[in-house]
Structure formats: C-alpha cells, structure tokens
Amino acid sequence: MTSPETLQVLNRVFGYDSFREGQQEIIDHVAGGGDALVLMPTGGGKSLCYQIPSLVREGVGVVISPLIALMQDQVDALRALGVRAGFLNSTQDPGERRMVEAEFLAGELDLLYLAPERLKVDATVALLDKGSVALFAIDEAHCVSQWGHDFRPDYLALSSLHERWPEVPRIALTATATKATHAEITQRLKLEEAHHFVASFDRPNIQYRIAPKNEPRKQLLDLVRNEHAGEAGIVYCLSRKSVEDIAEFLVRNGIDAVPYHAGLDAGTRAEHQARFLREDGLIVVATIAFGMGIDKPDVRFVAHLDLPKSVEGYYQETGRAGRDGLPSTAWLAYGLQDVVQQRKLIDNSEGDVAHRRKQSAHLDAMLALCEAVECRRVQLLGYFGQSATPCGNCDTCLAPPESWDGTVAAQKLLSTVVRLRRERRQKFGAGQIIDILLGKKTSKVTQHSHDELSVFGIGTELSEPEWRGVVRQLLAKGLLAVEGDYGTLVTTGESDEVLYRGRKVLLRTEPKRAAKQAKPRRA
Ligand code: ADP
Ligand code: ZN
C-alpha cells in the first residue's frame, strides 16, 4: 500500500490536510497487511488508524468496541462522511441485525462495528466466515487486561481472532499504556509479532493540579468562576449521591450543570450527553460512567472531587480535557477522607486477595502522584514508562512545594496510635488522634479519659489541617494505615523505623492559604 493513496483518503473522505504524529506509519503498516498494537493518548487520533486501512483494503473493516451506547453515533458520523458503516449489538432487534448482516455479506459496508459479546455467538462467526474481512480493529484494547482498570470478560475471547482468521490483519488500540497493561494486551491478544507503535503520552496543553481538599464545593466554585466561567467541563465524583448534590449546588449558584450517572434513566442520560456535546458552556457532573468515547474537543477543564482509583483512570479522565490542543485544566482535590474511604472500599470489595492487592497497588500509585514534590507531568509520564523534563505547567512546577522535617511530628502521631493500642486496647480514626495531640477536651476525649494520656496536648505546634496533612502523607508513604469501617488508624511494619530506628520523614508543606481556610472535618 502506498502513502499517496492513504493521504488521498484522509483529504477526500475525512477532509483533513495532513496526518497527525504517528498516524501515517500505523496506517501504512496496517493497510499493507501487518498487525499492530497502538498506544496513543486520548484525542491522539486512533480512529483513523483503522478507518483508513479499512477503506483502502479489500473487504470490510470489523471494529470491536465495548462502547455500545456510542455505536449509533459513530456510525452516523461516518455515514455523514459517505463511509458505508453499520453496527451489530444487543440493542438492535433481529430485523435490524439481519439488515446489517445482509449489507455485510453483499459487500456494501466499509466498516462494521461489533460488540465483543457478538463473537461468542456462532452465527456471528459464521457470518464473518462468509463475508470478506479487511481487518480486525480491537478498540479500547486495555479491556482485555485484568490488571487494568476496565476489564471486560468478553474481551478474553478476542485471543481467538488470530487462530480463526490468521490471514486477517489485526490492529489493537488503547490510551492506557502502563508497562503491565501493555504486556498483558500483547500476551492475551497474541500480538508478540505485531508492530508496537507507542506515541508520547504527554498532553502539554493540560495543566495538572492537585490540591488539598478543604472546602471542596467552594474550591470547585472558585475554579469554575475564576478560571472557566461559561466553559464546558466535567466534574467527576465517586458516588451517584454526590453527583446529584454537586450538580444541584452548581445550579443553585447560577452555573449551568447537569448530572450524569448510571442510576439515571437512559432518556435523561442521553439528553444530558447530547446537551453537553451540543452546547458551549455546560458542565456535566458525573461518575466515571461518563466520558468514554465522547469526543468533545473544547472541554476546558476536568475536575475530580474524589480521588480516582488508579493513575490510569485519572489519566484517561483528565485526558478528556483539551482535545483541541488549547490550554485546559485538570484539577483534583484530595483529602484524608479519600484515603480512608478508598481503603474501606478495597477492604470490603468482593474479589480475592490478588484482586485486593491489585487495587491497593493502584491506590498507592495514585497517592504517590498526589503527594509528589516533583513535576506532576514527570511523575505521570514516568508511571507510563516515558521520561520527561519538568514541564513548567503544573502546580508543583509553578509553585514548588516546600518540605519540612516531619520526623518529630510523625513520631508524636505514631506513638499516640501505639499508646492507645498498648495502654487502652483501643483504635481510633484521625479525628480523635488529632484532638488528643492538640489537647482538645471534647466530650469524646473526656468520655474515654484520653486527656489522661501522656501524649495529650503534645502536638500544639501544628494546626488541625497540618496534622491532617501529616496523617495523609504518612498513609501515602505506608508509615501508617487505615482499617475497618470506621477508618481507624494503625501502625505498619515500617512505623517502627520512624519510632525507634531514626528514620527521617520529609513532608510536603501544606499550602498556607488552604490551611487557614480549612474547617475542621472528621475522618
Ligand atoms: P482517540 O480515539 O485517539 O481518542 P480520535 O480518533 O477520536 O482520538 O480523534 C480525536 C479528534 O482528532 C477527532 O475529532 C478527529 O476527527 C481528530 N483528528 C484525528 N486525526 C486528525 C488529523 N490527521 N487531522 C485533523 N484532525 C484529526
Ligand atoms: Zn510540571
């Protein structure tokens, strides 16, 4: 396959002048019959990498995608360009399916989108056997990875594509690129012989910022009003309840916002998504159910009010900002309560030990990113195995965090935890421990006569928010742990190194403004 032909298709069908970085090589390789694994960030332009080869090759390009809800839109968009596209998934009635199948067999399609579970149906396999397949594109290929954050069991069956149709080229694409996921995709989809195209994962126009969560609603309002007034954005929350609450809060404050989560009926969800795509300055407050495959170029900010469960998830969600290349913000507020909550979720989760260990590792990596003192971008790209130099466009580059010797503070806090356990056989959450350190005679303190402990009031040199920062950072460093439904604090195997063996603890200074504004909150 020659380049001029693919370039012509790019111009004529898609109306673009030139290829983006990486596209030409990938398209030529696949159009020429080679297998490929493509790791490219969200918005990098992965779709053309299989669409153009499907157009220039003999037969129909079969695209396997988990995004069933978007297939109709994708197909409509292609048809508007004059590309003959169709899809097969569980939302169709048998009549509609039969029509698409007939088009496929008659060679009247360029592209056929297929939900992965369709391949488990013998009739679909027989259909593909009877027709002529130009290539298999496996979109969102990280869904095959059990290590990743978005595993779909149906994807495991895709390993058989190669055995069943060895002569048909395959191209697998994903925006998730940790070494572990990359290796798992390669192995499960049998892409050892394929050409691996790895694009840079840097998104230079996105400014990454991670702030301590003090008054999240006020912080969010400031972000929207001061930096993104009238602009489109996505606000991610963990629970449906907080999605509803935050959307309502924004509307009450005169900001155009709608909720989106799996608990809303399909009609409302579709309407809110359509408004987001169509309108200029709408904010969608959503659970992570929102956003996959949504291509809105001018999303100016993505805000997280709860800690994402993994760096992969964080990267994908923030990647929805600024696809048009213009300056955009990725803002995350994170606090002690997030760590407590996520540990609880992991402890109570259904999976086996290995599954919990995996989730723990994901959380630890996310915490490390939050507490990093160096450039966020360097950290983030490092996580994906790519190197970078400090970017000058993230919070730590713009205002390098100061650090302080927190060894004594850590010792005071850890010994309070140890004393409660040894002398009273008790465990408490961060709120009570900090009250003891600050020497506060609350009713809960006198009730347990914690004012009689020798550690009572030994920590008055720090404020409550500063102590919360100490707890958070010790948790992130694995020097302290939370357990149980009440988020009680316990020491870890490493705590003794700080208490008895002279290990130094360097802590990041809490931003002053934030520390002053903070209202006391209980863990
Ligand atoms: P991804 O799947 O990697 O997230 P898409 O394939 O959805 O990215 O492409 C993102 C956006 O970039 C789309 O709006 C697409 O039309 C546009 N795009 C892709 N390739 C080019 C190109 N060569 N020139 C201009 N725009 C492009
Ligand atoms: Zn930076």
Measured in whole angstroms, how far is the alpha carbon of residue 469 from the centre of its chain? 24
d(CA 446, CA 401) in angstroms, rounded, equals: 38
CB atoms near residue 485 (< 10 Å) = 8
Q: Tell me the CA–centroid distance for residue 77 and ligand 1, in Å.
A: 13
Q: Decide: residue 207, CB within 10 A, 0-12 exposed, 13-18 middle, 19+ buried.
A: buried
d(CA 110, CA 116) in angstroms, rounded, equals: 19
Q: Tell me the CA–centroid distance for residue 118 and ligand 2, in Å.
A: 44
Q: What residue's CA is closest to ligand 1, atom 23?
A: 19
d(CA 111, CA 54) in angstroms, rounded, equals: 7
Q: What residue's CA is closest to ligand 1, atom 9?
A: 45
Q: What does the pLDDT read at residue 409?
A: 96
Q: Tell me the CA–centroid distance for residue 396 and ligand 2, in Å.
A: 6
DSSP-derived 3-state class of residue 200: coil
ipTM of the complex: 0.98
Token pair for residue 153? 């069991």
Which is the closest atom of ligand 1 to the Cα of 40?
Answer: 3
Burial string for 254-292 (b: 16+ CB within 10 Å, else e) reads ebebbbbbeebeeeebeebbeebeeeeebbbbbbbebbb
Q: Is the separation of the CB atoms in 137 and 35 below 8 Å?
A: no
DSSP-derived 3-state class of residue 446: helix
In three-state form (DSSP H/G/I as H, E/B as E, the rest C), the secondary structure along 179-196 is: HHHHHHHHHHCCCCCCEE
Q: Tell me the CA–centroid distance for residue 329 and ligand 2, in Å.
A: 13
Ligand 1 probe mutation, 10, 20, 50, 81, most atoms within 8 A of CB: 20
Token pair for residue 365? 């990596």
Q: Tell me the CA–centroid distance for residue 355 and ligand 1, in Å.
A: 35
| Model pTM score | 0.79
Q: What does the pLDDT read at residue 393?
A: 96
List Cβ neighbours of 342 (8 Å cut-off, separation of 6 or more). Answer: 307, 309, 363
Q: What residue's CA is closest to ligand 1, atom 19?
A: 45
Rg (CA), the chain: 26
Which is the closest atom of ligand 1 to the Cα of 49?
Answer: 6
Q: What does the pLDDT read at residue 513?
A: 46
Q: What does the pLDDT read at residue 84?
A: 97
d(CA 128, CA 59) in angstroms, rounded, equals: 11
Residues enclosing ligand 1, CB less than 6 A?
16, 19-20, 23, 40, 42-48, 295, 323
Q: Tell me the CA–centroid distance for residue 327 and ligand 2, in Å.
A: 14
Which is the closest atom of ligand 1 to the Cα of 47?
Answer: 6
Stated as kind and residue range, the H or E segment containing 27 is helix 23-31
Q: Is the separation of the CB atoms in 52 and 10 below 8 Å?
A: yes
List Cβ neighbours of 359 (8 Å cut-off, separation of 6 or more). Answer: 309, 346, 349, 351
Token pair for residue 429? 């959450």
Which is the closest atom of ligand 1 to the Cα of 20?
Answer: 23
d(CA 374, CA 307) in angstroms, rounded, equals: 19
DSSP-derived 3-state class of residue 171: strand
* Selection from 288, 282, 285 nearest residue 228 by Cα: 282
> What beta strand segments (E) does 179-276 contain?
195-198, 206-212, 233-236, 257-260
Q: What does the pLDDT read at residue 437?
A: 97
Token pair for residue 521? 């909150």
How far is residue 243 from each of residues 249, 285, 312, 339, measured CA to CA in Å?
A: 10, 6, 21, 19
Tell me which residue has tokens 């197909």.
Answer: 75
Q: What does the pLDDT read at residue 512?
A: 60
CA angle 455, 459, 462 (to 5 degrees): 165
Which is the closest atom of ligand 1 to the Cα of 297?
Answer: 14
Instruction: Give Dmax over CA atoms of the chain in angstroms.
Output: 85
Token pair for residue 54? 């499907």
Q: Tell me the CA–centroid distance for residue 205 and ligand 2, in Å.
A: 12
Q: Tell me the CA–centroid distance for residue 428 and ligand 1, in Å.
A: 52
In three-state form (DSSP H/G/I as H, E/B as E, the rest C), the secondary structure along 315-332 is: HHHHCCCCCCCCCEEEEE
Ligand 1 probe mutation, 17, 48, 205, most atoms within 8 A of CB: 48
Q: What residue's CA is closest to ligand 1, atom 26?
A: 16
Which ligand has the shortest distance to the CA of 140? Answer: 1
Mean pLDDT in consecutive groups of 10 residues from the start of the chain, 523 residues: 81 94 95 96 90 97 91 92 95 93 96 94 94 96 84 90 94 88 93 94 95 94 97 96 97 97 93 94 93 86 96 91 94 93 85 82 91 91 88 95 93 96 93 96 96 95 93 89 84 93 90 44 37
